[in-house]
Amino acid sequence: MSTVLILTLYVLSVMRLTRLVNADTILDPVRIRLARRFGPTSGVLEFVGCPWCVGFWISLAGAAVPVLLLEWPWWSMLPLGLAASQLIGMLAPLSSDEDIAIETVNDD
């Protein structure tokens, strides 16, 4: 596989995983449990909703894959993870759902 393809797949995969943790409805039950346990204004919930925070850690953890595939030196994981994290943080607002109105239903 070409270097560009491997790096592109790496960044897109990390972006998708970050979006999954930050906003996808499939993980709403987890975020709700965290909000109930730590409070809606807790640092834990803020971390889970922050693409810069989550993207950084997923980028760093996932950097091992392209480094191994491309047979780069182990130390390249840090700059690769940092670069991917920067891209993810900058591009996250493009997929933001903040303008979507959520209605609450009262069962009175």
25 lies in a domain? yes
- Give the residue among 68, 67, 51, 69 at the shortest CA–CA distance from 14: 51
Do residues 51 and 18 touch, judged by C-beta distance below 8 A? Answer: yes
6 lies in a domain? no
pTM assigned to the model = 0.78
Per-residue pLDDT of the chain (108 residues; tens, 9 = 90+): 799 999 999 999 999 999 999 888 898 888 888 888 988 888 988 898 888 999 999 999 999 999 999 999 999 999 999 999 999 989 888 776 655 444 555 655
Element (H, E) at 90: helix 77-91
Supply φ then ψ for residue 101, to 5 degrees. -85, 135
61 lies in a domain? yes
Report the C-alpha gap between 63 and 83 in whole angstroms: 10
* Domain of 91, in residue numbers: 11-95
